[in-house]
Structure 1
Amino acid sequence: MDNRKRTAGSSSFRSLVFWSSSFSRQPARVLIVEALPPWWSEICKVLCDALDNFLSLACSLDGPCRIPLLSLYAISRQQECLLPFAQVRGNLARLHSCVEELRSIPGEGCIIGAARGSDLLHQTVLDSLQQFKQYMRHAGSSQACNNASVEVTVVTSQPGRSVVHQLETRLKDADLVSLRRLLVVQVCGAADSGQDTPSPEDTQAEDSLMLGTEVDLQQVENTVLAVETVFKSWLQEQGGDGEQLHLLLPSSSDNPIPVCVKCDTQERLISPALIPLTPSLGVKTESIRDFLPVFNSSSNQSPAPQKLRVIKVLRAEAVCESVLYGLPLLIRPTTCWKLDWDEMESNHSLFHALCHTLRSRDLFLLLQLEPDQRPPAGSSGVRSFYMLQPCPSLSLLLKPVVSRELLLPCSMPAAAQAPSPHAMQTIEGCLAQLDEEFVLNPVSLSSYLYQHLTNKGLVSQQRYPYRLQSSAAHKDWPQALEGPRNTVSRKQRQGRPVGSSSKVRATVAPMPSSTSPSSSSSSLLGPPPAKALRPALSFLSSRRAPAPTQQQEADDDDNSMTMQ
């Protein structure tokens, strides 16, 4: 469903402010599957299982829209559109039925020729582009796909370079304005290794690919994890129109302009907070109340402690910080008063020995959360994992670890050679301008949060009765609060110079009385006069008060005479 149609009661309503700008360049997706014998029987189960896993995640994700539209084609004896362009979020039932229809395509049958297969493939690509144009023409400005581009992914078991060459040859004169990228994914089995040797024509096609044509080739293993990783790349931001991050390094003292290193950002994992109704994923680790179970007030019993089972020992240098998420929790030996002294001392010794062993051997522990009870029927339960690492003090640090389902593809190439001497000299000169600290002290880092919260609170705080009251607000006061006006004759007001003494005595407008007329205080003081609604003085308000009118000056004189 469209995110903009969600109600304010949903958990994702607070994110609507930035959804319009985040992931705004995500293209629509077209998946074309070559279900041709005899290869289809080898990859059918793997591909459909990977597609099922991916769609179950993509349809349930909250937050920015990562896949605005999806269309699915299958090529067997003929071209077939299993799914016209449809939205992905909240549409799992329909997408699952399309995957089951794809799974039901037989893997045996007559084998069509290579020319016939390539003709069907390029015609399917053109049909998907035409369908996308028609969809965008009817959708108009209400569609979330703002950039009006589409990315086509072809999954095949045929030799990938030959498929790329055929598509380049047949699509060279076609209208590919809306096509952002055409990716050919070759699912390779164990028998396919070393068989896809490029011919001279394929080498020429590969050279043209290097020149920036629209066709790319990716070869993956015939496993669910490998194919699933291809689909998960759709969830990453597909911007690329400009750099996303600037790192500013101090230059030499005679040059005030900093050295700028321009970078792009990439997600490493899907935040578990974007998946609703997934308990025990360790989504919240901000406080101990988020980690422990809720206290049962009806039974008046303390909550049972969470149980983390150690399942592996890891080397510290083998742990990548990019797979950890959330806020860490400090773990220390318990001081529960219900334990006797001997048990508490023994527990303290065991904890001390654990910290010392992990620190001395530079080890981390991988833990799994033990479920409190058996999962309901038909559900295998959801597991969460944590990393336990030692601290310099007598404590341990607990961090959540991402699981396979939420991990996004990340292929960072290793540096093949040393950087250039000029770049090394520039960076070393920049770092030489910075102060070096041996210990990170957060106390020295001030974010000016106090000032921000103070200013925000003062601006949003209601300043009645010191603020000016508008004339419309005066009309809204109940008539019961307006007592009889104490007035004097015009002769008593005439001849009296206009001064500011009466205005000075009324620096604060009196509060409207909320007591009933039958109360004793109301009977002694009488009903509040109407001049209590007079606006405050200008020096007590952020706005300049208007000049006093003749009627206001008369009311001030009446107040002075009444007090006398």
Structure 2
Amino acid sequence: MNSRKALSETRRTFPATKVHHQQPSRILIVDVTAPSWTNSCSVLAEALENTLCLACGLAGPCRVPLLSLFVVQSQQECLLPFTQVKENFARIQACISELRSLPREGCFPQGGNGVVQAVQDGLQQFKQYSRHTAAGGSTNSSVEITILTSQPSKQMVQQLEKKLKDVDLVSLRRIQVVEVLKRDFLEPEAVEQCVPAGESSSSDVAILGMDIDVQTIEDNVISLEMLFKTWLHDYGTEREHLHLLLPTGGFSHAAAPKTALMCLKCDLQERLLDPALLSGTADGTTRAADLNSPCQMAAWPATVLYKLRVVKALKSEGVCESVLYGLPFIIKPTSCWQLDWDELEINQHSFHALCHSLLKRKWMLLAKREPQNTSPSWNVMLHSYYVLVPSDSASLLVKAVATRELLLPSTFPALLTEHPERVCAPVESALNSLEVEVAYNPLHLKSNLYKYLKGVLYKPLHRQQAQPRDQRPERHQPKQHQSRAKAAVAPLLMAPSPVQVSRPAAVGRGSSERSLLPKEYDEFLQ
């Protein structure tokens, strides 16, 4: 049972909720009752802002379509009701500023039902929002909840199990309980080399017919940033992304059927974000290469089923890096929930056996991409080729490889075996002065991309609605709540309506039985 449970984390989380590769809405619940909130506050705010500026700056469909943010103090409070992330970076920044302004003394009592109540409020808010947006022709079928807390994760899971027995969880895709550990004397090098959130200690707790993902991460910007960056991945499991086709053994004679192939069903995952999609234009006017062209594959979103037919094996030392191009993708065994358990298990074991055998032989694989259709509009079908590189992490790295048509001529003289001492000495001295690292760690390099995107995306709220002071409408609200009015933004109106939202206060204190949306939306929620 343990091996089968490890096959797919998402299979048991309500497979009837078909997402069609649409990213889920996100609810982030921050428990600020811990004494370490003083340090956690700035760390969390920076990590969240960095990730969301990427989500806003990426061209194409938004990978974090809707976001809601709750904080738990003495009571739960919704700082940001469900808001479309794309083109709303100013609202998100205002909400993060509000998060930074919360008291940092850790004076709030721990325990209680604040986190559980925030989960109930968030689910109620999502239910109301989904019903409201359905009237405008838009659907939001699932939601994921991430809880950041310093309380023991087991205690938190027990509270959730007890309190959510009678709550409607059909739209809930997953609950992720993240226990943030405080390291008082953490060296800077240790912070930079910390384990990413996706590789941190985690386990699944099966309750209520679904999974609660329990993780433990360190209290630093990189760990939290990697946690939030998992939101940018496509975890759609409705179908596999790629079929890897290998010839079956024992068919060396001429009468062997040419269609006898072993098919490994796999999923694609991005290794890097495409820099061409982060050119600084949030409206997506600058496009990367066509993701459906013969030489490109896309890991997000997985809109087509790719087929790669292995045609040759290559010695690892015989592949020159200069003929590889394009972004690398990761190939993993599929976690498609529509496959039977037995098929998933056999497929995973076969994939692991392939990786092991390739590593033992020091081989790579050369694969040709099969055409997407059998009746092309042109008489000639274009082919593209890829190199599959094994690793000891039970995955394959895939990169496009150059063909004859793309290759440019190049002639280089042979490297001399001996050089004059007067030439070698200065070069050797220069090399000896360099710091040497055993392996390249991208966490050690920053390009100022976050600062650049924040500057490009930042648009002050109501900048285009400025009016002379004597013409501005009267705002009947206490002065002490004006800063929070910018953060607590009501969800964008999806259905046609002349109503203008102007409620200033933060939403969501108290019971989840009452509406968590502004009163102006009540007419759409009947």
**TM-score when normalising by structure 1:** 0.44
The one of the two structures with greater contact order (alpha-carbon pairs below 8 A, sep at least 6) is: 2
Between structures 1 and 2, the one with greater helix share: 1
Between structures 1 and 2, the one with greater strand share: 2
Q: Which has the larger radius of gyration?
A: 1
